[in-house]
Amino acid sequence: MKEGFRQAMAWLHTWAGLIFGWLLFAIFLTGTLAYFKDEITHWMQPEVQAHPVDDARSLAVAQNYLQQHAPTAARWFITLPTPRDPGLSVMWQDKVDPGKRGNFIQKVLDPVTGQAVQARESMGGEFFYRFHFQLQMPYPWGRWLSTLAAMVMFVALITGIITHKKIFKDFFTFRPRKGQRSWLDGHNAVGVLVLPFHLMITYSSLVIFMSMVMPAPIVASYGNDSRAFFNEVFPSSDNAPALGQPGTLLPLWPLYQQAQQQWAGGHVGRLAVNNPSDVNASVNVFRAGSDSVVHDFGSTVSFNGTTGELLRVSGEPSLPSLIGGSFYGLHMGHFAGPVLRWLYFICGLAGTAMIGTGLVIWLGKRQLKHAKTGVMPFELRLVEVLNIASMSGLMIAIATFFWANRLLPVSMAERSDWEVQSFFIAWGLSLVHAALRRGRQGWVEQLSLGALLFVAIPLINALTTPYHLGTSLMSRDWAMAGFDLTCLAGGLFLGWAAWKMQRCAALQPKAERARALAFKQEAG
């Protein structure tokens, strides 16, 4: 009975892992990059210069700019610069149509000069963040697919734990240079050692999309009016309507300080001003998401904009909202400082590696049978091609995205769309290439190309912008320098992988077959 159960779980692990492995690899890798979303955006829009953060100055600059350029707007939004995201972003909306998403005008200001920055059009890190859960598909299909993938990931994790018999005995075991054995060791090691992260990230993603995954409780209490549920969970700030009499808006800085006192020294993330030119103007100050592990679904302090009277302080969140918020916060890691953020990044890479090694093992195990003849059946060849394109091909696509950012002319129409398209074109081409080349050759060539593209990124950055490693290190612009150095390291890693792959191909025939036989007997 016990063995039967374990075998059933192993079967589920194998096939769930294979079918969704390619997609999960992309979701994990882009999600990992999204931990450095702001830093990537900073690199991709180098025109937005980093300055030491000074909220008083930034706020005065933003208010001044908006008063000059959008005095009659219905709403203003001001997002303050952070050490991670140097841009002072202002946004306004001329007219509010209830029920419709009005057209916003957004500008990024330089917090020192007060001028709008003419930054190149680019999605920046936002692209990876969006792709991570929307998969570049129209709403809501991408979300459904990624939620489904998360569910499968959860199943694969649980079945993986059950299948892995010697989870504690093998806890410290990794035996390199032993072919299939090493892949399995590696798969188990990154799986088991980083298991808390894997479980947290997968479970929390289901919590984040819980209204899609488990709508029954909402339907049961709210009927078909799911809006009512969201209105209760995320109470919108009910601000007084405009009276139609002109008024003068107070300086925002004192209100900012007052809000900060309410939060015992917490940070302000953004501000919204309703009817800025009206006597009934109101100012909502929102708390920054980086303040606590538990994600805050809108801690707000509201003021009357002309008298400065404190109107409302949002209450403490309820327990369910606190629990939901902690999963949300843990998943997104907004609270993480630089060190913890890097640890998040490494954990994400470990997750990606776990999925990648799993895919390689699936194929490796089945290829053994056909090692002698050298002819692979169609289904194995298909898996091989998809393995290559989904892993090394994705690396090439990511590097191409960064290259496009530097090489496409700044004035090009629909520039940011073209950046995204070059990502998918490169990915598509890598699929074609993988289909045309023999297995190992395909791996070696794509990994080498990926290595070359990544290693050259600091170089191309130096050639096309004035923000090369020398200047970014001198001016302590860590995001810019860190990006270049990380690309360099990533390129070196890919180069090492290509070299290993090449050497394995040369050594392969006899030794591998003997080892494979031994492994087969062991793995049963």
For binding to other proteins (CB under 8 A), which residues are involved? 169, 171-176, 189-190, 193-194, 196-197, 292-294, 330, 335, 339-340, 343-344, 346-347, 350
> To the nearest whole angstrom, how small is the minimum distance from the Cβ of residue 348 to other proteins?
12
> To the nearest whole angstrom, how small is the minimum distance from the Cβ of residue 197 to other proteins?
6
- Number of CB atoms found within 10 A of residue 382's CB: 12
Is 98 or 337 the residue whose CB approaches other proteins more closely? 337
Is 158 or 195 the residue whose CB approaches other proteins more closely? 195
In 3D space, the residue among 474, 473, 35 whose CA is nearest the CA of residue 290 turns out to be 35
- Separation of alpha carbons 400 and 422, rounded Å: 7
Counting Cβ atoms within 10 Å, is residue 385 exposed (0-12), middle (13-18) or buried (19+)?
buried
- Separation of alpha carbons 139 and 147, rounded Å: 13
- Separation of alpha carbons 367 and 377, rounded Å: 9
Is 193 or 429 the residue whose CB approaches other proteins more closely? 193
Is 131 or 345 the residue whose CB approaches other proteins more closely? 345
Maximum alpha-carbon separation in the chain: 88
Counting Cβ atoms within 10 Å, is residue 124 exposed (0-12), middle (13-18) or buried (19+)?
buried
Is 222 or 335 the residue whose CB approaches other proteins more closely? 335
In 3D space, the residue among 287, 274, 182, 291 whose CA is nearest the CA of residue 237 turns out to be 274
What are 313's two structure tokens? 């302080």
Is 158 or 346 the residue whose CB approaches other proteins more closely? 346
> To the nearest whole angstrom, how small is the minimum distance from the Cβ of residue 339 to other proteins?
6
Is 265 or 374 the residue whose CB approaches other proteins more closely? 265
> To the nearest whole angstrom, how small is the minimum distance from the Cβ of residue 293 to other proteins?
4
Is 12 or 336 the residue whose CB approaches other proteins more closely? 336
In 3D space, the residue among 452, 418, 350 whose CA is nearest the CA of residue 35 turns out to be 350
- Separation of alpha carbons 199 and 83, rounded Å: 30
> To the nearest whole angstrom, how small is the minimum distance from the Cβ of residue 347 to other proteins?
6
- Separation of alpha carbons 20 and 15, rounded Å: 8
> To the nearest whole angstrom, how small is the minimum distance from the Cβ of residue 146 to other proteins?
24
Q: Which residues have C-beta within 8 Å of that of residue 403, sequence separation ≥ 6?
A: 422, 453, 457, 460
Counting Cβ atoms within 10 Å, is residue 200 exposed (0-12), middle (13-18) or buried (19+)?
middle
> To the nearest whole angstrom, how small is the minimum distance from the Cβ of residue 358 to other proteins?
17
Gyration radius (Cα) of the chain, Å: 26
> To the nearest whole angstrom, how small is the minimum distance from the Cβ of residue 188 to other proteins?
10
With beta carbons less than 8 A apart as the criterion, state whether 62 and 109 touch.
Answer: yes
- Separation of alpha carbons 448 and 445, rounded Å: 5
Is 333 or 482 the residue whose CB approaches other proteins more closely? 333
